[in-house]
Amino acid sequence: MGRPLLLSLLRKRGLDIPFMILFYALFGVYGIVWATLVADFLVMVISLLFFIPVWKRLIGPP
């Protein structure tokens, strides 16, 4: 149970559903579509934050 599980749960349960409820209240039916887009974008940013230290270790010191 590592980062992939965390990111998956964060996307679907942690961000997607709350954003759907919030965006539906704010923007109506179209808000549901935008909620998924926003949740996916935020998970992408979090994934990049997880990846940057790994990338720095892979390329090694200059």
pTM: 0.76
Reading the chain (62 residues) residue by residue, the pLDDT tens digits are 677 788 778 777 888 899 999 999 999 999 999 999 999 999 899 889 989 988 999 988 76
Q: What is the 3-state secondary structure (H, E, C) of 1-62?
A: CCHHHHHHHHHHHHHHHHHHHHHHHHHCHHHHHHHHHHHHHHHHHHHHHHHHHHHHHHHCCC
Provide the residue ranges of all domains of the chain, joining segments of one domain with +: 3-59
